[in-house]
Structure formats: structure tokens, C-alpha cells
Amino acid sequence: MALLDSIVGPIAGLLDKIIPDPRARDAAKLELLKLEGSQEMDAVRVQMTAIVAEAQSVDAWTSRARPSFLYVMYTIILWSIPMGLIAAVQPAIAHEIANGMNAYLAGIPEPMWTLFGTGYLGYTAARSWGKSKGVDK
């Protein structure tokens, strides 16, 4: 049950940060509390246990794989900054680059985007859990 409490707390804290509307945030927390005793929460507990185990692994690749994947995604997103500069100077070239990037991004399978979202939320929750327990700094 201690692991369950350690999961619900960080997720509730994340809801405070990512949902600005107080009514929506309270509704999300209520749903989280409803899930607390369900099989879905058991699945979340298992996933969180795996994420924490990965983060605490002595193997450098295992403990850094999830953040490394996020860094790659951040790099792809940050590419918009130089694209904006190119568009200011050479709009036609920027348009062609954007068309190429759109074709590239559209070619990435949907499961990869799902993996990114799951990894991002899981990493954030694991870091919050580790910080709340004093494991991470």
C-alpha cells in the first residue's frame, strides 16, 4: 500500500501543475482516487515499479535510456527555432524544409508517439516519486 500512496501523491502533484482549471483538476484527482483500488491502478503500480527499477539500475544505458529518448524528442521540437530564423530570411527554403519535416514526422509510427508520451509521463512521475522520498536530488 505504501507504493500505491507514493504513486497517487506524485500524480496528484503533477495534476496540480499541468491542469490550470481548478474544476478540471479536482475532477481528475477524483478519478485518480476512484482508480486507487482498481486493477488499472495495479497496472500503474507495476509500471511505476519498472520505471523506478530502471532509474535505479547500475547499468548506465538502462538508467539513461528514457531520458536520452526524451532529449532526442526535445531536439526535434527545438529545431523550430532555427526554422523560424530561416523562414525570416528565406521563406521559400523554410517552406520546403517544413514540407520535408512534415513528411518525416508523419512517417513516424503512432506507437512511437505513444511511447514518447508514456516515457515522458513515467519519467516525470518517477522523478517526482524519487524526490519526494529523498532518493533523487
Residue 4 pLDDT more than 90?
Answer: no
DSSP state of 137: -
pTM of the model: 0.36
pLDDT in tens, 83-136: 889 989 999 998 998 899 889 888 989 888 888 788 777 767 766 766 666 665
Instruction: Please provide residue 100's backbone torsions phi and psi, each rounded to the nearest 5 degrees.
Output: -65, -45
- Helix 60-78, helix 39-55: angle, nearest 10: 100
The domain tally of the chain equals 1
Lowest mean pLDDT among 16-20, 28-32, 38-42, 78-82: 38-42
* 43-67: b (≥16 Cβ within 10 Å) or e: ebeebbeebbebbeeeeeeeeeebe
Domain of residue 8, residue span:
2-133
